[in-house]
Chains A and B, each alone.
Chain A
Amino acid sequence: EIVLTQSPGTLSLSPGERATLSCRASQSVSSSYLAWYQQKPGQAPRLLIYGASSRATGIPDRFSGRGSGTDFTLTISRLEPEDFAVYYCQKYGSSPPGWTFGQGTKVEIK
Chain B
Amino acid sequence: QVTLKESGPVLVKPTETLTLTCTVSGFSLNNARMGVSWIRQPPGKALEWLAHIFSNDEKSYSTSLKRRLTISKDTSKSQLVLTMTNMDPVDTATYYCARTKWDLFDAFDIWGQGTMVTVSS
Contacts and interface: CB of A to CB of B under 8 A. Distances in A.
Interface residues of B, number: 24
Interface in B45-65: 46-49, 52, 54, 58, 60, 62-63
A102 interface: yes
A49 to B, nearest CB: 8
A96 B39 CA distance: 17
A72 interface: no
Contacts of A26: none
B90 interface: no
B49 A35 contact: no
Given A88-B47, A97-B52, A99-B49, A35 B108 contact: yes
B114 A44 contact: yes
Q: How extensive is the interface on chain A, given as a class?
A: 20 to 34
B106 A44 contact: no
Contact of B49 (A37, A51, A57, A100): A100
B14 interface: no
Contacts of A50: 104-105, 107, 109
B60 A97 contact: yes
Contacts, number: 72
A51 B111 contact: no
Interface string B52-90: 101000101011000000000000000000000000000
A85 to B, nearest CB: 13
B52 to A, nearest CB: 6
A99 B48 CA distance: 9
Interface in A42-62: 44-47, 50-51, 56-57
Interface of A: 1, 32-33, 35, 37, 39, 44-47, 50-51, 56-57, 88, 90, 92, 96-104
Given A98-B49, A99-B39, A103-B46, 9 more contacts: A35-B105, A45-B47, A46-B111, A51-B107, A56-B104, A92-B105, A96-B60, A99-B108, A102-B46
